[in-house]
Structure 1
Amino acid sequence: MENPKITQVHHVNPEELTKSISTAVEKILAPLKDSFQPQKPTEWITRKQVGERLSISLVTVDDWTHRNILTAYRISNKKRYKIHEVENSLTKIIY
């Protein structure tokens, strides 16, 4: 069995020790705080909702899915689409 290591701190009250540790941890985490972006959960929509958003029929939604214009995910016997992928599938037309 490994011997436990014990550190003793003298002449410091618990509040000062807590404040000192908190300050040190905040300094270490400050650079990460600026670069950290929380990840948004994936939003799923149905075929009908895709059709409504793009103003197209369900037949066109299925056609575009078969032609790999849209990416569908199967959950049991239902198809679902990621909102951001549907929006990214749209391309800009320049005249």
Structure 2
Amino acid sequence: MESKSTILLHNITPDEFKEALILSLKEVILELLLETKKEKPLEYLTRKQVAEIFKISMVTISDWNKKGILKPYRIGNLIRYKSNEIEEALTEIPFRRYN
């Protein structure tokens, strides 16, 4: 058989309790949001990885480099892309409602 426990609150009105609870929840939610927004460790992607992400050809990758859509980095003979810049390269298309 389950035992039920009762919590008694003294010297606090239901509205004060509600406000304190809301404030605590807001603080916890804010902490969680800040944790999820922390920068991911910087990752460098190859041309092939970028092509796979966008499902495009290597020729398109070269074309996007020339057009400035992507920003490649070179170290020796290697070409790499910063993962965060790949995400930033995506641009939002505003939704247009047609009547």
For this structure pair, what is the TM-score category when the shorter chain's length is used for normalisation?
A: 0.5 to 0.7
Distance 2:72 2:66 in 1: 9
SS in 2 for 1:70: coil
Q: 2:47 and 2:56 mapped to 1: Cα distance?
A: 10
Report the equivalent of 1:52.
52
Cα 1:43–1:92, aligned 2, differ >3 Å: closer, same or farther?
same
Change (3 A) 1:78 1:92: same
Task: Work out the number of aligned pairs and report it.
Answer: 61
- Extract unaligned runs of 5+ from structure 1: 1-33
Q: Which runs of 5+ in 2 are unaligned?
A: 1-30
Post-superposition Cα deviations, 1:54-85, rounded to whole Å, max 9, x if no partner, equal 11111101110111110000011110000110
SS at match of 2:41: coil
The match for 1:71 is 71
- SS at 1:93's partner residue? coil
* Segments of 4+ moved more than 4 angstroms: 37-40
Alpha-carbon distance, 1:41 to partner: 3.0
Alignment of 1:1-95 (within 5 A): 40-94=40-94, 95=96
Query: TM-score, normalization: structure 1?
Result: 0.57
| CA positional deviation for 1:42 | 1.4
> Counterpart of 1:79 in 2: which secondary structure?
strand
Corresponding residue SS for 1:80: strand
Normalising by structure 2, report the TM-score: 0.55
